[in-house]
A and B are shown apart, each in its own frame.
Chain A
Amino acid sequence: MDLISSLEVDSLTHSFGQHRVLAGIFLKCEPGEIVGVLGPNGCGKTTMLRALFGVLDADSMHLALGGETMDHAYRTERLGYLAQEPFLPRRMTVRGAVKGLLGESEICRTLLDHPRIAPLQRQRVGSLSGGEQRYLEVMLIVSLPAPFVFLDEPFTEIEPIHREPLKDMIRHASHTDRKGVLITDHAYRDVLDTADRIEVFAGGVLRPASGEADLKRWGYTP
């Protein structure tokens, strides 16, 4: 994995027609840090992650990875992105889908031997339940040899009993493997529990939040 000092985005703006969603985002994420991004529906969380990953051309954005400016960052393979929608090809087997991204590597073997994945290896992705598929996708993305990963709603469809192991996996990827993680989800307590630092969308920009009181202050919780 490449060692990169930090991910830094500045002046990220984007509008859909007359509706300005992102009004000058500044965000920094260090290796080994989990940054939680919260905000109401339609505030621009997914738009921001898509722009950072490089699949959405923002109106303006300055993105730097380790001081190096880039546009379509995904081409550098320094980023992993868990899309909001299920994205694994449905007709592939679990084994094939994992090998497709990770190749024949030690990481691939470790993932396939995971107690939750091992029994599913020969099944087609399309035959998995929504929760199983999501679990697999999160595992796959945090296992990528990329120094930064963006997780858009990783806890969707994950049953309570499997949320803690999932959070542990994200924490391990960040705190032990030194990945920088951006995470957003409406299961905000899980995000609060997992993240080292929280930012909340308010008026198209990000505001730092230190706890539930700040979430209320910025209008995210009642």
Chain B
Amino acid sequence: MGHRIPAHVGLLWLFARRCVIYNLVLSLLGASAFFAVSLASADTAQALSDTAGRAIRIAALMGAILVMTAGQALGLVSMRLFHGREFPYYRNAGLGEGVLALGSWAVALVVGAVMLTAGMIWT
């Protein structure tokens, strides 16, 4: 056992990278939708300016949280839906769906934490 450890890391990274890309796209859509709804609720130019500033701060925070939570869950569902036939490739390296999910979630947490930090510094 364990004779293909370097290959394991590469495959885990391959899966996590693709999963997190789905995650980022979906999380971005979620945060953008929130931002758009917030702006639509402003009824004057001054209110729009105030609302936009507040909405950007919340959307940045929300985007990072989505990346670490629901976005990643949807990313995993997307991998299952669009790349399900590739799972035997990973299993032949001894990597089950649980390991792939945990590994990719760890990457999502790191990405989300970086986004959160960057968002806090920026805003």
Contacts and interface: CB of A to CB of B under 8 A. Distances in A.
Interface stretch (B1-9, B24-32, B68-76): B1-9
Which residue, B4, B10, B88, has most C-beta atoms of chain A within 10 A? B88
A1 to B, nearest CB: 8
Contact of A53 (B1, B7, B89, B91): B91
Contacts of A88: 86, 89
Contacts of B91: 53, 55, 74, 81
Given A75-B94, A75-B96, A89-B14, A103 B89 contact: no
B54 interface: no
Contacts, number: 67
B7 A103 contact: yes
A100 interface: yes
Interface in A57-87: 72, 74-78, 80-81, 83, 85-87
Given A81-B88, A86-B85, A89-B89, A102 B96 contact: no
A145 B86 contact: no
A101 B3 CA distance: 11
A106 interface: no
Interface residues of B, number: 20
Given A89-B14, A99-B10, A100-B11, A77 B89 contact: no
Which residue, B4, B7, B92, has most C-beta atoms of chain A within 10 A? B92
Interface residues of A, number: 28
B85 A102 contact: no
B96 A72 contact: yes
A139 interface: no
29 contacts: A2-B1, A55-B87, A72-B96, A74-B96, A75-B94, A76-B94, A77-B1, A77-B2, A77-B4, A77-B94, A81-B88, A81-B91, A86-B85, A87-B87, A87-B89, A89-B86, A89-B89, A99-B7, A99-B10, A100-B7, A100-B89, A100-B93, A101-B7, A102-B7, A103-B4, A103-B6, A141-B92, A144-B92, A145-B4
Interface of A: 2, 53, 55, 72, 74-78, 80-81, 83, 85-89, 92, 97, 99-104, 141, 144-145
